[in-house]
Amino acid sequence: MSQAPQVRAFFHEPTYTVSYLVWDPAARRAAVIDSALDFDPKSGRTATHAAQQILDAAKAEGVAVDWLLETHAHADHLSAAPFLKQATNAPIAIGEHIKAVQKAFKNVFNLGYVTADGRPFDKLVADGETLKLGELEIEVLHTPGHTPACVSYRIGDAVFVGDTMFMPDYGTARTDFPGGDARTLYRSIQKLLALPDETRVFLCHDYKAPGRDAYAWETTIGEERARNVHLAGKSEDEFVALREARDRTLEMPALILPSIQVNIQAGELPPPEDNGVRYLKLPLDAL
């Protein structure tokens, strides 16, 4: 029986994002997964209320944060990892294929300061690699398809799947971003569905499926395999046809342009210009 980490979820309703504080209950060592920065696109103002809630929870639980983990470079919210790093001194980790994502969007936004070699992330993790979390291990699973750099983190009897899958009544992630691919996503999900049925699955987003009144972000591998509306009873070709057809109907996320510029840089805001102000770019007809 896999060890069970303690998990506390934080739902950021403006972006429908779920961040997690997960820890080894014996050693009291913790990781934060997919944090969210408060950002008002109308005013361009940022705040750290949501991230501070995670720090307050860690203090209340008596746990020390050892890792700041990103499942991918999100396109719908800005990461608060730099703020959390300043408070905890924990390194920021992401999948090693982030370099390809950095390279692609460095060109889209013409960002001369982006090195596209994985910096400024502190740790690039590879498929099958493990990180220590007290007496537990964080196993890295490369699960591309939504983006080329997506990873899931398996910790004991829990797996944090980012944007690969959603609740069974909602389905799976879009695959129409640069480098995304529906067939690749299907195969990544099969890797996850091979985990034991009782494995707890923690999702990065929820949008409330039609007919459901409450947000939800925890399910199991068994439930996903049996009931996911995009997967259950579907062949690979059927999934690809369904996913690609659905993607053609979707609008771009409201925060994709600011989010990508910030998140490919581990959540760091653009460097200030000569007047001391930081600016985000708005490329026209580029995406």
Q: pLDDT tens, 185-241?
A: 999 999 999 999 999 999 999 999 999 999 999 999 999 999 999 999 999 999 999
As a whole number, the mean pLDDT across the chain is 96
Residue 1 has pLDDT above 50, yes or no: no
Categorize the per-residue pLDDT at 249 as very low, low, confident or very high, splitting at 50, 70 and 90.
Answer: very high
pTM, full prediction: 0.96
pLDDT (tens digit per residue) in 25-75: 999 999 999 999 999 999 999 999 999 999 999 999 999 999 999 999 999
Q: What was the pLDDT predicted at 286?
A: 77
Categorize the per-residue pLDDT at 2 as very low, low, confident or very high, splitting at 50, 70 and 90.
Answer: low
Q: What was the pLDDT predicted at 169?
A: 97
276: left (phi over 0), alpha (psi -120 to 50) or beta: left
Q: Delineate the domains of the chain, giving CATH numbers in brackets.
A: 7-263 (3.60.15.10)
What is the share, in percent, of the chain residues with pLDDT greater than 70?
99
- 231, exposed or middle or buried, with CB in 10 Å at 0-12, 13-18, 19+? buried
What is the share, in percent, of the chain residues with pLDDT greater than 90?
98
Integer CA distances (angstroms), 264 to 31, 72, 132, 134, 231, in order: 20, 9, 25, 28, 30
Look up residue 15 and give its two tokens: 């972006």
Q: What is the CA radius of gyration of the chain?
A: 18
Residue 132 has pLDDT above 50, yes or no: yes
Would you give the distance in Å from CA 54 to the centre of its chain? 16
Q: What was the pLDDT predicted at 25?
A: 97
Categorize the per-residue pLDDT at 285 as very low, low, confident or very high, splitting at 50, 70 and 90.
Answer: confident
* Cα–Cα dist 95/163, whole Å: 14
Q: Are 173 and 185 in contact (CB under 8 A)?
A: yes
Residue 251 has pLDDT above 50, yes or no: yes
